Amino acid sequence: MTKYTSNNYFLFDKIVPVIALIGISGVLTFRTDNTTVILVGISILILLLTVLVRLLSKLVSVELTDNGITVNHLINRNQTTIAYHNIVELQHQFRYPVFSRNRIKYQLGLGGKVKELKFASVVPNGEFNEFASWLKSKNSKIEFTFLPADSPVEVEFKGRD
């Protein structure tokens, strides 16, 4: 059963300008007869298309269930499951109450590379303690960190102990 859900659709804030730049570069590149301008324009288009593909490949939706974290990649339709015992750290980034973000650091296997997963905050800031307690019940070794260090969420979190 899904307990919490989130996504990282905030990446569209970066995707839309890249698409606009691709359009502008395409128009400017192919409206000229100068070979040098065309070659430079094509190089810029290739670079922008590479950036766009990388951003699109990072789009995910996240489901936190009783069994683990399911990450659904929207573009390539892959699904990854992260077991709670693999989570090393949860970082809460307080920006503005609506735009807070979470970053989970997890390690696959013993001595494996530590990976990161960034997504919009799972719960509103006022409900973070309940979420943290639920997550702690899944893995008591999770370290909680906060940015900025004096965020209201951290003050409330440390005051609960």
Same structural domain, 17 and 55: yes
- Neighbouring CB atoms inside 10 A of 153's CB total 22
Q: How sure is the predictor about 152, in pLDDT bands with cuts at 50, 70 and 90?
A: confident
pLDDT of residue 154: 83
Q: pLDDT per residue over 93-149, tens digit each?
A: 987 766 789 999 999 877 788 999 999 998 887 888 899 999 999 999 999 998 887
In angstroms, the CA 130 to CA 126 distance is: 9
Same structural domain, 5 and 66: yes
Final residue belonging to a domain, choices 57, 82, 107: 82
Confidence (pTM): 0.81
Domain hosting residue 94, numbered range: 84-161
Final residue belonging to a domain, choices 37, 63, 82: 82
Is the CB of residue 75 less than 8 Å from the CB of residue 61? no
Is the CB of residue 140 less than 8 Å from the CB of residue 112? no
Q: pLDDT per residue over 13-70, tens digit each?
A: 999 999 999 999 999 998 989 999 999 999 999 999 999 999 999 999 999 999 999 9
Same structural domain, 68 and 120: no
Same structural domain, 11 and 50: yes
Task: Decide if pLDDT at 6 tops 90.
Answer: yes
**When comparing pLDDT for 67 and 154, which is higher?**
67
Final residue belonging to a domain, choices 56, 82, 108: 82
Tell me which DSSP letter residue 131 carries.
H
Strand order across the 69-73 sheet = 2-7, 60-65, 69-73, 79-82
Same structural domain, 93 and 75: no
Same structural domain, 76 and 123: no
Strand partners of residue 64: 4, 69
pLDDT of residue 160: 62
Same structural domain, 41 and 113: no
